[in-house]
Amino acid sequence: MYRWIETTRFLEYRIADRVATITLNRPEKRNALSKELLIELRQALLESDDRGDVSVIVVQGAGKDFCSGYDVATTYANTAKTAADGRSIYRDGLRGDIDSDAWRLERGQELLRTLVDVHKPVIAKVHGNCLAGGSDLALYCDIVLAAEDARIGFPAIRSLGTPPNMMWPYLAGPQWAKRLLFTGDCITGADAAKVGLVLDAYPADELDAQVAELARRISLNDLGVLAAVKRGVNLALELAGAGTLSRLAAEIDSRAHSSHGPRQLAFMADIAESGLKTALAKRDAPFGDGIVKLNQLA
């Protein structure tokens, strides 16, 4: 039996009416995913899974965004500090080989895959930006409901790597997965619902109510039935290769990290010279607003 003492720094956790709500609570960092936040997220998910008074889990973000991605700035800072300290016992960023990078990515994905492994339904409530690692988190959830004006995408492919869980083709199909990931363009919540990347989208001021109503309806069912449904559908995904691909995708991502193409090298140089914010703006400038616009003609 899992027992969790509520000592979170990066999450808010509450239970009401059989729904556990986990809120990513780093609004000043646009809820960027750090190792510490991911550990707390796993703890909160396991706590929710263990409790008899919880039937459904909702994951959301505080402030303007669901999640802006992985905390790249902190990662680079920690790597630089480690290098300065000269520590090399652990795989802590000193070694630049593909295997060490893949190992670190796999450990992070193990934390995120708790969303898949818990027996209870998990709903992602997506608003604002849901980018890179934020999309990894959302697409691992059982159901994604989004604000119509949310921005969902993986712009990190323009300079860093690929989605280390690669759920995109299973939800949106191979062509839309390629269209979005070849460019790093984003898609609005409204259009993401049209291509199947999310279940549905609503005006931003209706999103809370829509998620609450779906969670209420799901919570009416017995826990054992909910677990059986989730495990059955996830088994179908596993038989279609989703579980295997999500484990291999971390290694694929590490290969992309080691490609050392001109855009990647320029991005790294810009970070060192001007900082992450300027580097991101320079990287994304050639892509314009970077929003996919579906052809609305009949």
| pLDDT (0 to 100) of residue 81 | 47
- What is d(CA 11, CA 8) in angstroms, rounded to the nearest whole number? 6
Low-confidence stretches of the chain (pLDDT < 50) are 1, 77-84, 94, 297-298
| pLDDT (0 to 100) of residue 4 | 57
- Which residue pairs, CB below 8 angstroms and at least 24 apart, start in 282-285? 283/158, 283/159, 284/155, 284/158
- Buried-exposed string 181-196: b where 16+ CB fall within 10 A, e elsewhere: bebbbbbbbbbbbebe
| pLDDT (0 to 100) of residue 74 | 64
Q: Which amino acid does the sequence have at 230?
A: K
Asked whether the beta carbons of 58 and 219 are under 8 A apart, the reply is no
The model's pLDDT over 71-123, given as tens digits with 9 standing for 90+, comes to 987 655 444 444 445 555 555 554 567 888 888 888 889 999 999 999 999 99
**pTM score, whole prediction:** 0.91
Q: Which amino acid does the sequence have at 77?
A: A
